[in-house]
Structure 1
Amino acid sequence: MTRDLSEVRFLTVAEVAEMMRVSTMTVYRMVHAGELPAIRFGRSFRIPESAVADAIRPGLCDVG
């Protein structure tokens, strides 16, 4: 299943942090640990919106 890049919405680290209600540092840690895929644009990262949805999908979060 390939998607055209024009269909992919990329989010900034700050947008992801706000969506997940965590700090930007937590998002950076997730990116560097490989838990959240990201693309580097210059000195900043962009995270596909679908990757965020997968990360916060019920049952995938480590609670407790």
Structure 2
Amino acid sequence: MNVRVRQAAEYCRVSKSFLDKARIYGGGPAFMRLGRSVIYNTDDLDTWLASKKYQPANDNARAAA
């Protein structure tokens, strides 16, 4: 499904301003520009969100050291 910037920001739980800046400076989700409109695909948003996951450090590994 394709959504506009405000809808994408709500979907990702980030601000519209964040997405606007990420388009300029990089590091944001993939987007399409159709004339003056910016469109995000929800599959691309899901992929970008998944790339932001991190695995916390294993506390057991630190305790053994």
TM-score surpassing 0.5? yes
Task: Determine the structure 2 residue equivalent to 1:11.
Answer: 3
Between Structure 1 and Structure 2, how many residues are aligned?
A: 53
CA RMSD of aligned residues (A): 1.9
The unaligned stretches of length 5 or more in structure 2 are 55-65
The unaligned stretches of length 5 or more in structure 1 are 1-8
TM-score computed with the length of structure 1 as normaliser: 0.67
Judging by fraction of residues, say which structure has more helix.
Answer: 2
Asked whether the equivalents of residues 12 and 49 of structure 2 are also in contact (C-alpha less than 8 Å), the reply is: yes
Deviation at 1:31, TM superposition (A): 2.5
2:12 is aligned, of 20, 25, 28, to 20
Tell which structure's C-alpha radius of gyration is larger. 2
TM-score computed with the length of structure 2 as normaliser: 0.66
- Give % identity: 21
